[in-house]
Amino acid sequence: MLYRTAGQFKTSYRTDQALFPIRQDAFLLGVILICAWVVFPLTASEFTFQTLLTPILIYSLAALGLNILTGFAGQLSLGTGAFMGVGAYACYKMVTLMPWLNPVVAILLSGVFSAGVGVMFGIPSLRIKGFYLAIATLAAQFFLVWLFEKWAWLYNYNASGAIQVPNLDIFGLYVAGPQASSMTQYYVVLTIVSLLTYLAINLTRGNLGRTWKATRDMDIAAELIGINLMRSKLTAFAVSSYIVGVAGALFVFMWRGAAEPNLFDIPLSFRVLFIAIIGGLGSILGNYLGAILIVGLPVVLNTVPRALGIEVESALLEHLNIMIVGSLIIFFLIIEPHGLNALWRLIREKLIIWPFPH
């Protein structure tokens, strides 16, 4: 009923291939966008900005980057955390070497560096596949984190080995560093994330996306129909690492404010990989759903007992939290092994044919 598609006729190829062929989808997206751009910022507290809105967006973006590589092009990567680190350190070096640089430009440029590094570590993917490639990207993970620790130039010879985000402004408005307000940072993140998501949707629908999918589904067949595997795989590495690098720069500059090398270690890579897997490989929406589940839910769960007025010890709460989130992940993967995105697709399909299921 809510999702009835009857009466929505497509009279040209153009309308058939539109971003949202079904009117309700566009409407739903509009509601979400209004929430994200207007309703949340007006109602959210500092706590909500810092622990829910901003981190969920940043993690979604990182997962989106990984999803392009793993979900669309089929190249398994365990080095996401390190590529995020490349973006963060590149951004840090740029803003400290060139303080006049617009911070948003610096963040967008920092992705270029991680794209370069990503392509370099992507070269072995031409010869090795699957789990073996995962091990090769694992090497990138260990090597890069080691580099962040040992190459003192990267953190400006700071005694503690950590990078600290300085105060950065655009036309007098602070966007990064301790002086920046959470709302400004949220809008910067939201703008960049919206922009990159829009690009990613269209990339994956277009020519490049189709070559990636062909490579993923069967590379020999793809080669036989004339797809250049080298180009397909390396562009996937480049685009993916670019997005991941931007996410890394946002991660440190728009949210954390400071970072030590081991922040970018393997737990971060796994966290992003889990978001991508639980959200659904080969999907765009899934990254957001996955990030809400993995990043947002524990924070919300932590506030539940207090809100209900139950006194629970903080350590016990943390243990309960880990158990609940863990079992929810298992639950969702059992009812829909292809992730939350597939679950949403199923629900939507049922809604379209409701109330007459065949």
Partner 1 sequence: MKTFTKLAMAGALSLGLAAPVFAEGIYTPNLSYRTGPFAATGIPLMNGQADYMAMLNARDGGIGGVPIDFDECETGYSTEKGVECYERTKAQAVVTQPWSTGITLQVLPKTNTDNIPILAPGYGFSPMANGKVFQWAFNPPASYWDAASMIMQYIAGGDMGSLSGKKIVLLHLDHPFGKEPIPVLEAMAAEYGFELVPIPVGLKEMQNQSAQWLQIRRERPDNVVMWGWGAMNAGAITEAVKTKYPMDQFIGVWWAGHDEDLKQVGADGKGYKSISWSMPQPDAPVMADIKTHVVDAGLSQQEDLNSVFYQRGLVISMILAEGIKAAQDNFGKGEINAEELRWGLENLDISAERLEELGMTGMVPPFKTSCSDHTGHSGGWMLEWDGEKFVQASDLLMADAAFIAPLEEEKSAEYAEANAPWPMNEACE
Residues that bind partner 1 (CB under 8 A): 46-47, 50-51, 149, 159-162, 164, 166-167, 177-179, 256-258, 260, 262-263, 265, 299-300, 302-304, 306-309, 313-315, 317-319, 347, 350
Smallest separation (angstroms) from partner 1 to the CB of 178: 3
Instruction: Report the distance separating Cα 246 and Cα 260, nearest Å.
Output: 18
CB 152 within 8 A of CB 251: no
Instruction: Report the distance separating Cα 54 and Cα 70, nearest Å.
Output: 24
Instruction: Report the distance separating Cα 151 and Cα 148, nearest Å.
Output: 6
Collect all residues with Cβ–Cβ distance below 8 Å to 247 and sequence separation of at least 6.
Answer: 58, 59, 61, 62, 64, 65, 84, 87
Smallest separation (angstroms) from partner 1 to the CB of 343: 9
Instruction: Report the distance separating Cα 348 and Cα 351, nearest Å.
Output: 5
Q: Which amino acid is located at 48 in the chain? A: T
Instruction: Report the distance separating Cα 222 and Cα 214, nearest Å.
Output: 5
Smallest separation (angstroms) from partner 1 to the CB of 354: 10
Using the minimum distance from each CB to partner 1, give the nearer residue, 164 or 194.
164
Using the minimum distance from each CB to partner 1, give the nearer residue, 116 or 177.
177
Using the minimum distance from each CB to partner 1, give the nearer residue, 227 or 304.
304
Question: Alpha carbon of 27 to those of 20, 33, 85, 201: distances in Å?
Answer: 9, 10, 37, 17
DSSP structural state of residue 169: E
Smallest separation (angstroms) from partner 1 to the CB of 202: 30
Smallest separation (angstroms) from partner 1 to the CB of 357: 12
Smallest separation (angstroms) from partner 1 to the CB of 4: 17
Using the minimum distance from each CB to partner 1, give the nearer residue, 144 or 214.
144
3-state helix, strand, coil in the chain (%, to 5): 75, 5, 25
CB 92 within 8 A of CB 163: yes
Q: Which amino acid is located at 197 in the chain? A: T
Using the minimum distance from each CB to partner 1, give the nearer residue, 11 or 160.
160
Backbone angles phi, psi at 336, to 5 degrees: -150, 90
CA-based max dimension of the chain: 68
Question: Alpha carbon of 115 to those of 146, 235, 269, 304, 336: distances in Å?
Answer: 19, 9, 16, 41, 33
Look-up of token digits 């737990």:
267
Using the minimum distance from each CB to partner 1, give the nearer residue, 208 or 292.
292
Backbone angles phi, psi at 221, to 5 degrees: -60, -40
Using the minimum distance from each CB to partner 1, give the nearer residue, 176 or 246.
176
Smallest separation (angstroms) from partner 1 to the CB of 228: 39
Using the minimum distance from each CB to partner 1, give the nearer residue, 220 or 308.
308
Using the minimum distance from each CB to partner 1, give the nearer residue, 186 or 237.
186
Smallest separation (angstroms) from partner 1 to the CB of 342: 15
Smallest separation (angstroms) from partner 1 to the CB of 258: 5
